[in-house]
Amino acid sequence: MAAGFKKATVRSGDVPATLTNYPTYVDLSRLGITTLAEAESVRVYADSAKTTEWAREIVSLTEMHVKVPSLTSTVEIFVDWDGVRADYAVGATYGRNAVWSDYLVVLHMTTSPETNSTGKNAMTVNGTSDVSGQIGRGRNSNAGTHGITADLSSDFASGSTGTISAWVKARLATPTNGSYNMPFGLGFSAEDTNHYPFSNGLAYMSALRKNRVDNISLSATVTRTNWHRLVITTSPVANGWKLYQNKILITQTTGQTFTGSDLGAKLFVALNANLVGIRRWDGDGDEYRVSETTFTSDWLDTEYNNQNAESTFWGTWTDAGGGGGGAAQAARRGAVMMM
C-alpha cells in the first residue's frame, strides 16, 4: 500500500472572507490515493510538522470533507496517509461527526440506506436509485417513487434561523403527476412544506406557513440537464427567506422564519407519490444539508466554489515530505536502522 504526505493552498479568489469551522470538500483521487485503505488512513493537518490536526470524514475512496477551523484566502492543507491506519470512529475527536457539529442533516447520497453524517437524526428511506452526483454518487427519485424523511422536531421546535441546501438536477419540465417538481422541503407534513419545486422549466420557491403559499419565480430558466445548487436561508433579523441559485441571490421575502409554530418538523427529500402526488420529484439530488445557522453569502459563495470546482479551489497538490505516518513510517525507520 502506498503512503504519502501532500499539501495544497486554497485559491485566494474562492474565499471572499474568513470562515470559521468550514467543512471543505477534497477529492482524494487528485492526491494519488487509489485504495479505500489508503483513504481511511488519511490524517489532515494545518502544518507540515503535523502539530494541529483537523477533523475529517472519509465518505468514499475519492470523497473527503475536512473541518477547517479558520479558512482564509491563504490557508494551506496537509494530507498524510499510510494505508495502514484504521479510519477514525464516527464519534472520535477527528472523526465524522466532528466535521458536521454545526449541522442537523448532511446526506452525501452514497449509502443504502442513507446515512446522516451528523449522527443526529435518523433517516426514513423509501427507495433510491444511484446516479452520478455533483460530488461522487447522487440519487434519482425516478418520477416520484422514492423519498427520504428526517424528523427534526426536537431541533426546530424553538428555532428561528437556518439554512437548507442541495445540488439538484431536474429531468422533466413538469413532473409526471401534477404541476410541481419538488426536490426537497421542510414542513410539518408533506402537504405543509417549505420547499423548492421546478415548474415548466422554471425554479420556484414555495414557502408554506400553515396553508399559506408564496411562490417566487427565479429570474432565469433552469437548464434541466445541469446540476444547480439551491439554498434557502432565514434570519430573525430580516424576518424572511433568501433564495439562492448557485451563487446568485435570486429573491427574498419577509415575514417568514423558522419559528416553532410555523416551521415544520420534518425534512422531505425527493417526495414520492405516497406523500404528495402534485409535488413529486422527477430528478436527481446530491449533498443535502440542513443547519440551524443562517450562513452568510460569503459562506455560501465559498461552498459553491469548493463543490463546483474542487480542483480549482485547492489547486495543485505537491509533496510535503516525510509522509506516510503511523505503521508505514515506523516500518521505514526500522528498515533504515537495519541497513
Find the mean pLDDT for residues 308-320.
97
Taking all residues of the chain, what is their mean pLDDT, rounded to a whole number? 76
Global confidence as pTM? 0.84
Q: What domains are defined for the chain?
A: 4-100+307-338 (no CATH), 105-292 (2.60.120.200)
For the stretch 56-67, pLDDT in tens is 999 999 999 999
Q: Is the pLDDT of residue 145 over 60?
A: no
Q: What would the mean pLDDT of 254-276 be, rounded to a whole number?
A: 50
Residue 252's pLDDT is 72
Q: Which range among 115-119, 148-152, 165-169, 279-283 shows the weakest confidence by mean pLDDT?
A: 279-283
Q: What pLDDT does residue 28 have? A: 97
Residue 256 in this model has a pLDDT that exceeds 70: no
Question: Rounded distance, CA 138 to CA 237, Å?
Answer: 35
Which pLDDT value is given to residue 339? Answer: 37
Is the pLDDT at 334 greater than 70? The verdict is no
Lowest mean pLDDT among 69-73, 126-130, 224-228: 126-130
Stronger pLDDT, 23 or 137, i.e. the higher one: 23
Q: What is the 3-state secondary structure (H, E, C) of the chain?
A: CCCEEEEEECCHHHCCCCEEEEEEEEEHHHHCCCCHHHHHCCEEECCCCCCCEECEEECCCCEEEEEEEEECCCCEEEEEECCCCCCCCCCCCCCHHHHCCCCCEEECCCCCCCCCCCCCCCEEECCCEEEECCCCEEEECCCCCCCEEEECHHHHCCCCCEEEEEEEEECCCCCCCCCCEEEEEEEEECCEEEEEEEECCEEEEECCCCCCCCEEECCCCCCCCCCEEEEEEEECCCCEEEEEECCEEEEECCCCCCCCCCCCCEEEECCCCCCCHHHCCCEEEEEEEEECCCCCHHHHHHHHHHHHCHHHHHCCCEECCCCCCHHHHHHHHHHHHHC
* The pLDDT of residue 328 is above 70: no
d(CA 292, CA 186): 13
Higher pLDDT, 293 or 73: 73
Burial of 20 (0-12, 13-18, 19+ CB in 10 A): exposed
Would you place residue 266 in the very low, low, confident or very high pLDDT band (cuts 50, 70, 90)? low
Average pLDDT of the segment spanning 176-205: 48
More confident residue, 173 or 164: 164
Of these ranges, 37-41, 154-158, 190-194, the one predicted with the greatest mean pLDDT is 37-41
Range in 88-97, 202-211, 284-293 with the lowest mean pLDDT: 202-211
* pLDDT-wise least confident of 14-18, 268-272, 334-338: 334-338
Of 89-93, 118-122, 223-227, 311-315, least confident by mean pLDDT is 223-227
Q: Percentage of the chain surpassing pLDDT 90?
A: 39
Pick from 46-55, 128-137, 193-202: least confident: 193-202
Q: How many other C-beta atoms are found inside a 10 Å radius of the C-beta of residue 79?
A: 24
Q: What number is the average pLDDT over the span 121-139?
A: 77
Does position 182 have pLDDT exceeding 80, yes or no?
A: no
Does residue 291 have a pLDDT over 90?
no
pLDDT band at 337 (very low <50, low <70, confident <90, very high): very low
Share of the chain above pLDDT 70, in %: 62
Which of residues 263 and 9 earns the better pLDDT score?
9
Q: What is the mean pLDDT of residues 90-116?
A: 89
pLDDT tens profile 23-45: 999 999 999 999 999 999 999 99
231 burial (CB, 10 Å; 0-12 / 13-18 / 19+) is buried
Residue 51 three-state SS: coil
**φ, ψ (nearest 5 deg) of residue 36:** -65, -35
* Phi–psi pair at 231, nearest 5 degrees: -135, 135
pLDDT at res. 51 = 97
